[in-house]
Amino acid sequence: MNLFKIIYSGKDQYLDLAESMVKKIIEEKGRDAQVKFPSTAYSLPVIYAITGEKISTTGELEKALELAKEFIHEGNRLQDALDAGTASAMLAEIIEAVKYTMEEEPYKAPLQGHLTDAQIRAFGVPLVTQDIPGVAVIIGKCKDSETAAEIIKDYQAKGLLTFMVGEVIDQAIEQNVKMGIDLRVIPLGYEIESVIHVVSVAIRASLIFGAVEPGDFEAHKKYTKDRVKAFVNVFDDWDDKIIAAGAAAIELGFPAVTETFINEVPTLLLHQPNNEKVVETSLEVRNIKIKVTKIDIPVGVASAFEGERIRKND
Amino acid sequence: MSHEVLEFDGISTGLLEKGKADGAETIWDRQAAMKAKCGFGDKGICCRICAMGPCRISPVEGKGAQRGLCGATADTIVARNFARMVCGGASAHSDHARDIAHVMHIANKEGNYKVKDVGKLMNLAKEWGVNTDDREPNDIAHEIAEIALNEFGKPFGVQRLLVRAPEQRQKIWKDLKIEPRAIDREIATLMHSTHIGCASDAESILDLCMRTSLADGWGGSWIGTELSDIMFGVPTARGTEANLGVIEENMVNIMVHGHDPSFSEMVVLAAEDPELLALAKEMGAAGINLVGMCCTGNEVTMRHGVKIAGNFYQQELAIMTGAMEAVMVDVQCIFPALAKLADVYHTQFISTSPKAKMEGSIYIEFEEDHALDICKKIVRGAVENFKNRDKEKVMIPEAKNSAVVGYSVETVIQHLDKVVNSQTDVFNTVKPLSDVIWAGVLRGAVGIVGCNNPQVEHDKSHITIMKELIKNDIIVVTTGCAAQAAAKAGLMTMEAKELCGRGLKEVCERVGIPPILHMGSCVDISRILDIVSRVAIERGLDNSDLPVTGVAPEWMSEKAVSIGTYVVSSGINTYLGVTPQVTGSEYFVDLLTNKLEEKVGAKFIFEEDPVECARLMMEDIEAKRDKLGI
């Protein structure tokens, strides 16, 4: 298993998709149509933070593709592989930006898709002060819904913010896991590209709360690594695109834990086949220490439940 | 005075000029006096093993003498000369180890020598089937020492430590009939085979060379390291400083030079003696400054952080600072020239080993039974000599660098434990290292060892190769004078991670290590065999499958020949930055650099240009990776 080749293959898939989508949107809407995510001052935030460039029209998406391609150089050094991850993240953001240009509301409730600046500001301060002790990003599909719910609730009970990508969302719904930004459980979308919306959260934390200059990627990486205690859990089989996204996460300082075997990289990429240990593995690898005083009552107690609304029917 | 070989060393020039004014003669003066080298010796086609000779073979095929008087061809003569270098090297390492075993055998609670690492003793006792129940450590040590001593001359069986190799490797040795039996036996047998009228088949001589060298790496050297750790402690990470700038103007400077830690350990104790420290103050010195040189310097820096004055080529320069009260030496790699040089200054040049009495030296025999007293006596003499220092003749270069040293296999594994996730993995293994290599974060690992040699610019090849490799995400482990070159160059600092590629940099940061790991002295190359074999075993592979190589960029000694040969025989491609004296036989060169690979999965590569050498090693490593599909 050549890990770097897997990453390059994933990156190629993002590139193919991004190129065809940009081509399509230009054909459909011309070069001057406005490109933006809803309610953000940071254009395409990931690309803006990395390169300092604001992309605002469909025509400029071609430039965005070129910016991403600058990170593509398939060598056999770690930096080459991590750069492929960065390129993948930029390409995923382009793909998502096209979705938001194609339709008004590409993500419909309960899916969240893009988060607005206001939404980020709502939990941003506790996130970077680590009152929210960490951010779990769950990708894929757990072996059954019960397991999915258990893991999500475990993170929730520990006060973490949990983002979901893929079929795990349906599993959570099936188990009546209550979701929403207030509850710190956020279903992003079904396609892997939607994971960029959580990357966008981390990078905007760096732009907003860290006041890091757009274009100073090194400083952004340092901020996200030091201040945003995020990590990734991948359930079921991973594919090359997930691993390429994982390389992007690693570049930002976020380790990944996979259920299916992958060549491990200590502290960065771990294989944990035992679902019962995935939470502890993740917290340890991201160095998240939670002091919990367990109160023995029949319902979950955590700051994550602070914003919960009790509806009439409940 | 211009010395091409010193161009890379910014600090020596001034010292050499001063030395000339002082009337000092150095290796470079002698090199100049030597003029052109003898072409026959250089090619290995001069034979002096019997009194019918000397014979020399014409280097041109079909022209001039093609055989010696006995009929030996260039192939035979080159092979025999090479073999005797292996014997010389293996004997030096092994006799060193034997001394440590003897010291272990006299270990007792009240004496100078006692078991320091009981854990390592117990592990070895278990491996060697020694009963430990209700026994006092020194008592167990005596039995272990006796078993170790028998490894040198036991009548039957093979070396005990071979079982630490991957099974595939052990099978190769068995099938080739090169499993080393008793250490001394292999050396004697090879001396026998290279006698006039004995072995003349070059290939079979090379097989015997491999067996003898394996008796060194997997016998003498490894026993030396193992027992040294038990007696003097397993090295742990610690800070030190290196280069001639560690010599202190206001202190009594004593240099310990040579190889045997049972000697240098006592020197360390003696130099810390409160009575002698008080005496030093009385003499007007701020204290006693013990500094190390060559492998004994490595031994004491690994275990005590004793500062490193320099490596092989700097031994004369250290005296030429004019600030060295005493140079205490035991065995191996000590220039006989030091005696005459010391006379130019106030320096006391003290030889201590009956195996290495040095002409013109003050000889104070080192006897293990009252080791500390003897060392104190020598140190006292040095302290009293402080008053004789001629201040006019003192010139200490300001150059020195800090270094972190002490990376035994045990310490490396302890550091690796820092990155182990307790939920997914177990502690105390080399898995994290093998994982990062398999993932490609590190492309591979290279062991850089060996000497200095005035045939090449001093330290340049060491440093150039090291920098090239770490820049390309290859971790470097090093011993001997190569390690000291790295320490002097500042490559053994945590900050050196900035010279690395991203992968190695991440590893350094996360594991908390410098990119170049000092694993000790030349016998401690066994530590490198150990860690490579552990990774191979972890992956169920042979050493020759791994993306690792060895290199001796500036080698000079017979020990280096034995080392290179056992590293190749252990399945690791070995690069030589100085071409050995074998080029008079194309056939033997082909054996070393080509055919050996079919036999043991590894070979020698001769490459004198350090940049090209690094490039070839990286290519080699990538080829191994491709083969593994990683």
Q: Which residue of A has its CA nearest to B438?
A: A263
Domain boundary among B345, B368, B393: B393
Q: Which residue of A has its CA nearest to B618?
A: A76
pLDDT at B21 over 90: yes
Q: Which residue of B has its CA nearest to A273?
A: B424
pLDDT at A311 over 90: no
Of A269, A241, A257, which Cα lies nearest the Cα of A92?
A241
The answer to whether residues B471 and B606 belong to one domain is yes
pLDDT at B550 over 70: yes
The answer to whether residues B451 and B589 belong to one domain is yes
The answer to whether residues B412 and B546 belong to one domain is yes
- In this structure, what CATH number is given to the domain that contains residue B95? 1.20.1270.30
The answer to whether residues B95 and B16 belong to one domain is no
The owner of tokens 């292996």 is B86
pLDDT, tens only, B335-367: 999 999 999 999 999 999 999 999 999 999 999
- pLDDT class of B614 with cuts at 50, 70, 90: very high
Nearest chain A CA: its distance from B418 CA (Å): 9
The answer to whether residues B39 and B103 belong to one domain is no
Is B62 part of any domain?
Answer: no
Task: Kindly provide the ipTM of the predicted complex, given to two decimals.
Answer: 0.93
- pLDDT class of A1 with cuts at 50, 70, 90: confident
Over range B431-438, report the average pLDDT: 98
Q: Which chain A residues in 225-264 lie under 8 Å from chain B, judged by CB atoms? A: 263-264
Q: What gap in Å lies between CA A56 and CA A33, rounded to an integer?
A: 8
Is B490 part of any domain?
Answer: yes
Domain boundary among B393, B424, B443: B393
The mean of the pLDDT values for chain A is 94
Q: Among A77, A271, A281, select the one facing B502 at the smallest CB separation.
A: A77
pLDDT at B2 over 60: no
pLDDT, tens only, A106-143: 999 999 999 999 999 988 888 888 889 999 999 999 99
pLDDT at B630 over 80: yes
Is B226 part of any domain?
Answer: yes
The answer to whether residues B416 and B564 belong to one domain is yes
% of chain A with per-residue pLDDT over 90 = 88
- In sequence order, what are the residues at sequence separation of 6 or more whose Cβ sits closer than 8 angstroms to the Cβ of residue B395? B14, B15, B18, B320, B321, B322
Q: Which helix (H) or strand (E) holds B298?
A: helix B294-304
Of B246, B396, B243, B400, which Cα lies nearest the Cα of B322?
B396
- Identify whether the C-beta of residue A25 lies closer than 8 Å to the C-beta of residue A58: yes
- In sequence order, what are the residues at sequence separation of 6 or more whose Cβ sits closer than 8 angstroms to the Cβ of residue B384? B279, B283
pLDDT at A299 over 80: no
Kindly list the residues from chain A whose CB atom is less than 8 angstroms away from the CB atom of residue B419. 266-267
Q: Does the distance separating the beta carbons of B422 and A267 come in below 8 Å?
A: no
The answer to whether residues B377 and B429 belong to one domain is no
Kindly list the residues from chain A whose CB atom is less than 8 angstroms away from the CB atom of residue B437. none
Q: Among A76, A77, A284, select the one facing B422 at the smallest CB separation.
A: A284
Q: Does the distance separating the beta carbons of B443 and A77 come in below 8 Å?
A: yes
pLDDT at A242 over 80: yes
Q: Does the distance separating the beta carbons of A265 and B435 come in below 8 Å?
A: yes
Q: What gap in Å lies between CA B24 and CA B435, rounded to an integer?
A: 53
Nearest chain A CA: its distance from B423 CA (Å): 5
Identify the residue among B415, B422, B424 best suited for mutation to test binding to A, counting A beta carbons within 10 A and taking the highest: B424
Q: What gap in Å lies between CA B438 and CA A189, rounded to an integer?
A: 33
Q: Which helix (H) or strand (E) holds A16?
A: helix A3-29
The mean of the pLDDT values for chain B is 96
Q: Among B421, B432, B435, select the one facing A285 at the smallest CB separation.
A: B421
CA atoms lying within 13 Å on the CB side of residue B1: 18
pLDDT, tens only, A202-237: 999 999 999 999 999 999 999 999 999 999 999 999
Q: Among B419, B501, B629, select the one facing A2 at the smallest CB separation.
A: B629
pLDDT, tens only, B359-406: 999 999 999 999 999 999 999 999 999 999 999 999 999 999 999 999
Domain boundary among B358, B393, B428: B393
pLDDT, tens only, B76-93: 999 999 999 999 999 999
Q: Does the distance separating the beta carbons of B630 and A78 come in below 8 Å?
A: no
Kindly list the residues from chain B whose CB atom is less than 8 angstroms away from the CB atom of residue A3. 438-440, 630
The answer to whether residues B606 and B540 belong to one domain is yes
pLDDT at A307 over 70: no
Q: Among A78, A266, A277, select the one facing B503 at the smallest CB separation.
A: A78
Q: Does the distance separating the beta carbons of A263 and B435 come in below 8 Å?
A: yes
Over range A266-276, report the average pLDDT: 97
Parallel, antiparallel, or unpaired: how do β-strands B238-242 and B401-405 relate? antiparallel
- Identify whether the C-beta of residue A140 lies closer than 8 Å to the C-beta of residue A146: no
Q: What is the pLDDT of residue A304?
A: 64
Partners of B289 in the β-ladder: B253
Question: Which tokens in the block code for residue A282?
Answer: 């993740």
Over range A272-298, report the average pLDDT: 88
Q: Does the distance separating the beta carbons of B510 and A271 come in below 8 Å?
A: no
Using a CB–CB cutoff of 8 Å, tell me whether A218 touches chain B.
no
Identify the residue among A4, A6, A77 best suited for mutation to test binding to B, counting B beta carbons within 10 A and taking the highest: A77
Q: What is the pLDDT of residue A125?
A: 84
Identify the residue among B412, B417, B421 best suited for mutation to test binding to A, counting A beta carbons within 10 A and taking the highest: B421
User: Crossing angle of helices A240-251/A3-29, nearest 10°?
Assistant: 100
Over range B115-137, report the average pLDDT: 97
Is B357 part of any domain?
Answer: yes
The residue length of chain A stands at 314
Partners of B46 in the β-ladder: B56
Kindly list the residues from chain B whose CB atom is less than 8 angstroms away from the CB atom of residue A4. 440
The answer to whether residues B522 and B494 belong to one domain is yes
The answer to whether residues B9 and B80 belong to one domain is no
Kindly list the residues from chain B whose CB atom is less than 8 angstroms away from the CB atom of residue A280. 423
Using a CB–CB cutoff of 8 Å, tell me whether B417 touches chain A.
no
Kindly list the residues from chain A whose CB atom is less than 8 angstroms away from the CB atom of residue B622. 76
Q: Which residue of A has its CA nearest to B502?
A: A79
Using a CB–CB cutoff of 8 Å, tell me whether A290 touches chain B.
no
Kindly list the residues from chain A whose CB atom is less than 8 angstroms away from the CB atom of residue B472. 77
Nearest chain A CA: its distance from B411 CA (Å): 18
- Give chain B's domain count: 4
Q: Which residue of B has its CA nearest to A80?
A: B502
Nearest chain A CA: its distance from B236 CA (Å): 22
Using a CB–CB cutoff of 8 Å, tell me whether A2 touches chain B.
yes
The answer to whether residues B262 and B222 belong to one domain is no
Using a CB–CB cutoff of 8 Å, tell me whether B363 touches chain A.
no
Using a CB–CB cutoff of 8 Å, tell me whether A3 touches chain B.
yes
- pLDDT class of A171 with cuts at 50, 70, 90: very high
Is B239 part of any domain?
Answer: no
Q: Does the distance separating the beta carbons of B440 and A81 come in below 8 Å?
A: yes
Using a CB–CB cutoff of 8 Å, tell me whether B506 touches chain A.
yes
Backbone angles phi and psi of B573, in degrees to 5: -60, 135
pLDDT, tens only, B205-238: 999 999 999 999 999 999 999 999 999 999 999 9
% of chain A with per-residue pLDDT over 70 = 95
The answer to whether residues B121 and B19 belong to one domain is no
pLDDT at A310 over 80: no
Is B237 part of any domain?
Answer: no
- pLDDT class of A306 with cuts at 50, 70, 90: low
Q: Does the distance separating the beta carbons of A272 and B423 come in below 8 Å?
A: yes
Q: What gap in Å lies between CA B189 and CA B195, rounded to an integer?
A: 10
Using a CB–CB cutoff of 8 Å, tell me whether B622 touches chain A.
yes
- Identify whether the C-beta of residue B580 lies closer than 8 Å to the C-beta of residue B627: no
Is B66 part of any domain?
Answer: no
Using a CB–CB cutoff of 8 Å, tell me whether B419 touches chain A.
yes
Is B63 part of any domain?
Answer: no
Kindly list the residues from chain A whose CB atom is less than 8 angstroms away from the CB atom of residue B434. none
Q: What is the pLDDT of residue A284?
A: 97
Nearest chain B CA: its distance from A214 CA (Å): 23
Range of weakest confidence among A141-155, A200-214, A291-305, B136-150: A291-305
Q: Among B419, B424, B622, select the one facing A76 at the smallest CB separation.
A: B622
Q: What gap in Å lies between CA A83 and CA A96, rounded to an integer?
A: 20
The residue length of chain B stands at 630
pLDDT at A314 over 80: no
Of A282, A258, A283, A281, which Cα lies nearest the Cα of A271?
A258
Question: Which tokens in the block code for residue B190?
Answer: 């090879």
- Structural domain boundaries, residue B132: 76-232
Nearest chain B CA: its distance from A262 CA (Å): 9
HEC string for B513-580: CCCEEEEECCCCHHHHHHHHHHHHHHCCCCHHHCCEEEEECCCCCHHHHHHHHHHHHCCCCEEECCCC
- Identify whether the C-beta of residue B218 lies closer than 8 Å to the C-beta of residue B566: yes
Q: What is the pLDDT of residue B1?
A: 43
Nearest chain A CA: its distance from B439 CA (Å): 6
pLDDT, tens only, A15-55: 999 999 999 999 999 999 999 999 999 999 999 999 999 99
Kindly list the residues from chain B whose CB atom is less than 8 angstroms away from the CB atom of residue A271. 424
Nearest chain A CA: its distance from B474 CA (Å): 10
Q: Which residue of A has its CA nearest to B628?
A: A1
Q: Does the distance separating the beta carbons of B439 and A3 come in below 8 Å?
A: yes
The owner of tokens 């006989």 is B336
- In this structure, what CATH number is given to the domain that contains residue B273? 3.40.50.2030
Kindly list the residues from chain B whose CB atom is less than 8 angstroms away from the CB atom of residue A264. 424, 435, 439
Q: What is the pLDDT of residue B10?
A: 77
What amino acid occupies position A212? V
- pLDDT class of A296 with cuts at 50, 70, 90: confident
